[in-house]
Chains A and B, each alone.
Chain A
Amino acid sequence: MTTHTARRDPVDRVLRTVENAAAAVGLAGVAATVALIVIDVALRYLVGAPLSWSVGFVGDYVLVGLFFLGLSFTVREGAHVRIDLVHKRLGPAGRRVLAVAGSVLTAAFLALVGWGGFLLTAGAVRHGDIPLAGASELSWPVWTSAVLVPLGAGLAVLRVLHTLALDLRGPAPAAAPTPTAEEIA
């Protein structure tokens, strides 16, 4: 993992605190899922009455929370797969151009995703969307899940912009690390 340990300015510290908290919330959801599944399977085979809302909860809250709340943390830890074929053969100036271009594009894309999520949330609030309680749904307002998209994507945009500012100002980024176990395939 590539962490810019040398870079601990105040903005970074604030971002870090928020990211760690968001990541912890996302991971708490995973822990809750394991517990839910164990309880659900046990109830199904012992009592014949599974929990009705676990499917909706895991889909709409755990996965959405894990991904969007964990996004900025992941961007910070540099865990997103990249292809180093060209990068390896470039000098410091070339690498810096690629780093800046990559940050700009990442920020732009995540901002678009966050904007889409904002529209989704605003629509759910405006119309007061809320599912009927049922065999797979929690009767919680839709916006409580949708809002995780703009929050998580927004935080990640701030993180990328911070990295971008450092790259533009500071020395050329260090040589790319060899791909490591971050990649899962």
Chain B
Amino acid sequence: LVAAVALLTACTPAREAPAQGAARTLVVADSYPVTHPASRDGIVYFTDRVRELTGGGLEVEYYPSEQLGKATDYVKLVASRAVDIGVVSPPYLSDKLPLSNVGDLPGLSTDSCTTARAVGELTREGGLLHREEFAPRGLRTLFVGVVPQYELFTNGPVTDPAQLAGLLTRSPGGVVDQTLDTLGATPVSLAGPEVYEAMSRGTVDAMTLPPMSAVPFRLDEVASHATEGAPLGGFTLTFAISEALWQELPQSHRDAMARAGEETSRHLCAVMDEQTEQARSTLEDGGMTFTSLSPAQQQRWQAAVASVRAEWAADMEDRGRPGRAALTAMQTALDRARDGDVEAAR
């Protein structure tokens, strides 16, 4: 057996050490199907740009759809360099990257580009989330994506947060659980594909999810109404590279990745915002009514979820993590991102 192992190991050059001048091939993996924007307009867009910018100096083998591990595995697989670049989604990793859920807290922003820019600032080298969570785990983020606007899908209109009291409500997990809890609903953990059946059978009374995800699951068939503008937070995802690998790369490759990362963040958020709009009209065509919340109603929702952020920060502090600083930094970054939008618009 030892001989067999030696033979097998000898007959493949392990991918650690590329020959001088030859292209380096990176193993890239995530949990998204290739049709999801995080794949098509995220990592594929990114690696295409990197390939162009390095003149083919960096090549990529891409493994989508959990081919190399579950969504929660990549944080470890990238750090241990089993995978070179992988998806790191804080909402699935409340045990490992709790502070990085700050971008998903309710009532902060409903716009993918603004949120993505702010989270990008915090996860960049020197940013609070990079310093507190990504760097200690040997990770460096390459770009950020945000699926915006969790909404409440129900049978019958919902305009006031008090209407959630006692509703069994599908939750995607993460901080949405806390939000629903605070609003008096009972969060039920269900994966996307299970939601249709649960709703049609009445196992749950309501569902929290972004309009973008409601379309592929045909949820317009099982819910008559959805909120428009309920401040229920969003879903942040990042793609990260191992810091050790980053340090091995020549400066030209790092520059290419940094530039491609900036471009991808901008491209991906625009696609997310656009697809959210499209999703809403598709669902409306399917017979669903979106109830737009008036400013007064919005205010009541905002008041109801404000304590979620405060409690989240306090909970982090209890664990010895700088929750308040993270929340403040996120709010500051969001303000700057919005100012940036205003300037860009001029």
Contacts and interface: CB of A to CB of B under 8 A. Distances in A.
Interface of B is mostly: mixed
Nearest to A49: B186
B187 A129 contact: no
Interface of B: 1, 76, 94-96, 98, 101, 136-137, 166, 168, 171, 173-175, 177-178, 180, 186-189, 203, 315, 319-320
Nearest to A129: B95
Interface stretch (A77-85, A130-138, A161-169): A130-138
A128 B136 contact: no
Contacts of A49: 168, 186
A133 B203 CA distance: 22
A137 B177 CA distance: 10
19 contacts: A48-B168, A50-B168, A50-B188, A52-B187, A52-B189, A101-B1, A127-B96, A130-B95, A132-B95, A132-B178, A132-B315, A133-B177, A134-B189, A135-B173, A135-B177, A135-B180, A136-B189, A142-B95, A142-B96
A55 interface: yes
B3 to A, nearest CB: 13
B177 A132 contact: yes
B94 to A, nearest CB: 4
A44 B173 CA distance: 19
Contacts of A134: 94, 171, 173-174, 177-178, 187, 189
B319 A135 contact: no
A112 to B, nearest CB: 12
A11 interface: no
A123 B76 contact: yes
B174 A48 contact: no
A135 to B, nearest CB: 4
Contact of B94 (A55, A123, A132): A132
A105 interface: yes
A131 B94 contact: yes
A134 B164 CA distance: 17
Contacts of B1: 101, 105
Contacts of A136: 173, 189
A105 B203 CA distance: 48
A135 B189 CA distance: 5
Contacts of A127: 96, 136-137
A42 B223 CA distance: 26
Q: Which 6 A-B pairs have the closest CB atoms?
A: A136-B189, A134-B177, A135-B187, A131-B95, A135-B189, A132-B94
